[in-house]
Structures are given as structure tokens and as C-alpha cells.
């Protein structure tokens, strides 16, 4: 089970690989040995990561669709979050069954099958898009326009972040976008439906550019290069400090 960070998996692989099949015959490996990943990054981008898996073991993936902290906290409550499962290499003929069992074991109530490549492509794409990077960018753009048009920090934050995260997003998560629209006023509903198409047309080319960057390995190179630097932690903390000090998030602390 290799749950190290992507950069750490790459830097430690030469030491880890011999331990996977150490003191095991080919027969033992065929039946018993399984290498598990929670992310397809290292095997898929092996040219950059140098993670070439042994050819005599099962290689599987169970990728929870959430943070490790969330997986752990829900598991302790007897619950779990959705996960994708995939098989990279099936030597025993039982790799899919192993992945399914592991997914159930960590508490996932819903499992869906994918491939290592599709998992890592969609994961990197989503993190940089709607899940984090794109979301933060949209928050900042709307907040800045409101501030530039004379609205107070509190008003701009409430209309950009607070209402979205505390009121509307939970409705989408519970019952879908149509349910959220139904919960809005008729005026809000009409405007949202009309403008959603404009946002889609504007953003889709950018999302295609992002997907190409993921598929080409550019995002992998960037991640490994930055996260492998000796002063990575200091640089990262400086970036977080700059985000924390943005007016939008300082305003949020007072709301």
C-alpha cells in the first residue's frame, strides 16, 4: 500500500520497489502480492515519476473522492465517501475483487470502475478546475468586481462565498441543480439559467486547455518539480500566507 505523496512516491521508489517482492517466489507473488495506490499518478506518468511497477504482482487502485482527513473521520463514524476502483495489472485474476473489497473496507458506499489513466486525468483536471483552482478564481473575480463597484467587503463576501457554501451548494449536493433552482426566487432562477450558458461558452475553452495540460504531462512536471524542492514547504507556506491575507478571506473571518 503506497499512500505517500506523489512527489515522495517518485523520490523513494528505488528503495521501495525491491521490498514489494522481497523473499517471495513468482508463485507467491502471483497469489498473494498486491500493490495498492489511492491515485493513478505514479504508474500513469512513470516517465516522469520513474515508478515502474513489478510485473509479477497485482496493481490496483481505490481512489476516495475526497480528502484523506474526510475518509478517516467518516470511517470512524462508520460511514464513507464514494470511491473509484481500477486495475492496472491483474496477475492473480482476482485484482478487481481485491479492489472492490478494499473499497468496501474503507467504508465507500458507492464504487465505480475506471482506469488508472482516467482516474488521474479527471482528478488533476477537477482539482485545478471546479473543485479548487477554478472555484477560487471565480470567487476572487466576483468579489473583486463587487468591491470595485462600491460594495462593502462583508456584502461582497456574503454574495460570493457565504451564501454559496452555506446555503446553495448543500442543496445541490443533496438533490441536484434543479432542486437548488427550485429553492431560489423566480428572479434568481431566471437570471441563473440565462447566464449559465454564457459562463459555459466562456469557460469551456479554458477547461479544454487545462485538460490538454494534464494529458500532456505538463501538470505532472510542474507538480513534481515544485514539490520536490528542498524549500518546498517554505514556498508553499508563503503562498498560503498570501491567500490568507487576501481581503476576501479576511472579510470572511468577520462574517
Annotated binding residue 237: no
CB 43 within 8 A of CB 53: yes
Check the CA dihedral 118-124-125-130 and report its sign. Answer: positive
39 annotated active-site:
yes
Annotated binding residue 123: yes
d(CA 187, CA 193): 10
- Rounded to 5 degrees, φ, ψ at 52 are -105, 110
Annotated binding residue 247: no
Annotated binding residue 127: yes
* Residue corresponding to grid cell 508463485: 27
Pinpoint the alpha helices (H) of 77-185: 95-105, 116-128, 133-148, 153-157, 163, 169-175, 177-183
Of 7, 39, 129, 248, the catalytic one is: 39
Pinpoint the alpha helices (H) of the chain: 6-20, 26-32, 41-44, 46-49, 68-76, 95-105, 116-128, 133-148, 153-157, 163, 169-175, 177-183, 186-215, 218-227, 232-244, 247-254
Annotated binding residue 163: yes
Which of 57, 56, 61 is CA-nearest to residue 41? 61
Residues of the binding site for substrate: 185
Question: Catalytic residue numbers?
Answer: 39
Residues of the binding site: 123, 127, 159, 163, 185
Residues of the binding site for Mg(2+): 123, 127, 159, 163
Amino acid at each position: 500500500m503506497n499512500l505517500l505523496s506523489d512527489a515522495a512516491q517518485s523520490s523513494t521508489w528505488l528503495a521501495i520497489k525491491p521490498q514489494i517482492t522481497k523473499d517471495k517466489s513468482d508463485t507467491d507473488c502471483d497469489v498473494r502480492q498486491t500493490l495498492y495506490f489511492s491515485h493513478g499518478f505514479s504508474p500513469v506518468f512513470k516517465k516522469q515519476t520513474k515508478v515502474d511497477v513489478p510485473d509479477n504482482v497485482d496493481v490496483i487502485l481505490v481512489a476516495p473522492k475526497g480528502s484523506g482527513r474526510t475518509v478517516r473521520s467518516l470511517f470512524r463514524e462508520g460511514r464513507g465517501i464514494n470511491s473509484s476502483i481500477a486495475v492496472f495489472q491483474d496477475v492473480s485474476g482476482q485484482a478487481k475483487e481485491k479492489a472492490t473489497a478494499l473499497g468496501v473496507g474503507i467504508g465507500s458506499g458507492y464504487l465505480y470502475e475506471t482506469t488508472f489513466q482516467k482516474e488521474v486525468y479527471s482528478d488533476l483536471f477537477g482539482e485545478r478546475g471546479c473543485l479548487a483552482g477554478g472555484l477560487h478564481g471565480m470567487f476572487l473575480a466576483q468579489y473583486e468586481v463587487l468591491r470595485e463597484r462600491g460594495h462593502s467587503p462583508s456584502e461582497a463576501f456574503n454574495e460570493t462565498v457565504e451564501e454559496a457554501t452555506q446555503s446553495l451548494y448543500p442543496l445541490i449536493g443533496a438533490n441536484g441543480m434543479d432542486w437548488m433552482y427550485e429553492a431560489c426566487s423566480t428572479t434568481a432562477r431566471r437570471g441563473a439559467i440565462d447566464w449559465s450558458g454564457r459562463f459555459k461558452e466562456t469557460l469551456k475553452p479554458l477547461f479544454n486547455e487545462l485538460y490538454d495540460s494534464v494529458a500532456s504531462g505538463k501538470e505532472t512536471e510542474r507538480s513534481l518539480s515544485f514539490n520536490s524542492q528542498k524549500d518546498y514547504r517554505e514556498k508553499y507556506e508563503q503562498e498560503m500566507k498570501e491567500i490568507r491575507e487576501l481581503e476576501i478571506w479576511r472579510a470572511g473571518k468577520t462574517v
